[in-house]
Amino acid sequence: MSSPRYREVSRRKQAARAQAIRGSGVSDARPEGSDFEPYLRATAPEIVEHISRGEWTAAAVLEAYIARATEAQSLTNCLTEVLFAEASAAARQLDEEFASTGQIRGPLHGVPVSFKDQYDVAGVDTTVGLSAWANKPAARDAHVVALVRAAGGVPIAKTNVSQMMFFAECTNPIWGRTLNPHNKLYSSMGSSGGEAALLAMDGAALGWGSDIGGSLRMPASACGIFSLKPGWGRICMDGIQDPLRGFEGIRSVAGPMGRSVEDLEVAARVVFGKQGTEDAPAPLAYRDVVLPEKLKFGYYLSDGYIKPSPANQRAVLEAVDALRQAGHECVPFEVPQAVEAIECYMGLVAADGFKTLTADLGRDPVEPGISGTLLGPALPGWVRKTLAWALRRLFGDDVFARVTLATRPCSMQEYTQWVRRRDAYCRKFESEVWDKHGFDGVVSPVIGLPAMPHDSCRYLAPLAGSACLYNVLNTPVGVVPVTHVRPSDGATVEWTNPRVGSGHGSASIERLLYGFLDRNGRGKGGYYDAEKMAGIPVGVQVVGRKWEEEKVVEMMKVVDHALGPRAFGPFSWRR
């Protein structure tokens, strides 16, 4: 039975949030064409440029973003801790400094910035959706937050996450559910879903999330924004709270989210290589990179784990076509045994039966989206083996059977074997992809669906495995928005029948996604429904080699420029 404590914590936290919004004196965003529009159309570097010329003030910029953040909250429930009053005081101080000195404080001067609710901000809670973490305000800023402030950034709010930040929807018992700003029937995805929803609606000019299994990338794709997952070791994690703190089998990384590649670049320049007091990243500051005129990209439409939807595959093909027209070489290739990487991922993260992850859960109710994941290691061994047998014999699904068997508690000896298998897979990928083909970068789907319907993660949690591939590899990955789902993107026999077409993986998960073929030759009865999903954004991953984050940023610019003008970027969201 759940304790009523979480309900009381939730009531008080949500009431405080509402009061902080009311205290700002802003109830809604002004309509398009208002005085706010120029501020909302500007990227983070453009905001700084206008302020440095004396054309704008930090206070005026902030007013516009507070108004839009208020609207974003009312439509999507994306905010947790609201910092409008503190932000207003900080913006006024920046304006006073500029009036006195004629100099901006730094490269983020006057830029409204939001943070996923795992970044400590002095004076407010960091709950990650756990009642046990409430009413314990942080004594000081996380290192990234402090660096943002020192560069002139203005923290405006903290944003919602999935419970314990470990599943692909964005909902928890304290703050509730965050909706996709493009379709309320679908999730903003997780776990950085509050950030993605806020940024998609221009509620902040720059944001910060994290990624241990796609959490920067899935929300960015589903909400139509840009994000950058660095490899571990580029950004200091001091003051970035995590229920899995201390776990090193798969490293969680911090990363920027924004409405343009330029937003990500300025954010990375502020934090890369900056040393903290507890966590010491590589002392490697942001490096300027000059790309060759012609790049060689590898690409794939499916990693062979779960076949991505027609909309997700079309996004890759559109990006590849645009790159080819721009004069770049694009070569298809096969991912070497992606299921091996996903086995390693689940074997490592489930090694203690998720005891560390759930240690502070207390008597909070478990969200349906994570319940299936938590159940896996709790199954008796004979049940797990029987389930794997059934998947193989009854559904012909060796892929998910292997992942099911890997999701179990293990001994220290077994854990070290998983680490060795992880490292062996990384060497294999390096040899069979990067060394063999000489790619500059890779373009790929993010996961198999554009977005998940609410509460579907209880069945579709394995979808995140395709994103987890690059957490196992610890490589830098950016997300670039490409297109939107069209009603014509429906599944055909090549998706509903695992014996037809290429790229198939887990037969049981693909059946959940694509259902069966109706009399019109379209997939019905699955979670993927192009007609219902119409208008949801779809992005692609731009992947680089280890320690080549700066090159990934430049390749994202190449992809973005090749795709040309489209309905993404600042002030692109429409009601």
Nearest by Cα to 468 from 336, 320, 305: 305
What's the confidence (pLDDT) of residue 29? 45
Q: Would you say 212 is a known binding-site residue?
A: yes
**Active-site residue flag, 385:** no
**Active-site residue flag, 191:** yes
What's the confidence (pLDDT) of residue 151? 99
Q: Would you say 227 is a known binding-site residue?
A: no
What's the confidence (pLDDT) of residue 25? 76
What's the confidence (pLDDT) of residue 187? 98
Q: Would you say 27 is a known binding-site residue?
A: no
CB 126 within 8 A of CB 117: yes
Tokens of 290: 């000059």
**DSSP-derived pairing of the beta strands 112-116 and 154-159:** parallel
What's the confidence (pLDDT) of residue 3? 55
Q: Looking at 10, 24, 114, 116, which residue is catalytic?
A: 116
**Active-site residue flag, 309:** no
Tokens of 340: 């091996």
Query: Cα separations (Å) of 249 from 22, 31, 168?
Result: 44, 48, 20
CATH code 3.90.1300.10 region(s) in the chain: 5-271, 296-563
What's the average pLDDT block by block, 10 residues per block, for the chain (575 residues)?
81 98 71 79 98 98 98 98 98 98 98 99 98 98 98 99 98 98 98 98 98 98 98 97 95 98 99 91 96 98 98 98 98 98 98 98 96 96 98 97 98 98 98 98 98 97 98 98 98 96 98 91 92 98 98 99 98 93
| Superfamily of domain covering 296-563 | Amidase signature (AS) domain (3.90.1300.10)
CATH fold group of domain 5-271? Amidase signature (AS) enzymes (3.90.1300)
Q: Looking at 215, 302, 456, 506, which residue is catalytic?
A: 215
Q: Looking at 88, 114, 187, 191, which residue is catalytic?
A: 191
Tokens of 359: 């240690």
Q: pTM of whole model > 0.95?
A: yes
CB 432 within 8 A of CB 333: no
Residue with tokens 């007013």: 63
CB 211 within 8 A of CB 116: no
Nearest by Cα to 481 from 573, 376, 575, 351: 573
Q: Would you say 213 is a known binding-site residue?
A: yes
How crowded is residue 19: how many other Cβ atoms within 10 Å of its Cβ? 10
Q: Would you say 191 is a known binding-site residue?
A: yes
What's the confidence (pLDDT) of residue 564? 98
Q: Would you say 215 is a known binding-site residue?
A: yes
What's the confidence (pLDDT) of residue 522? 81
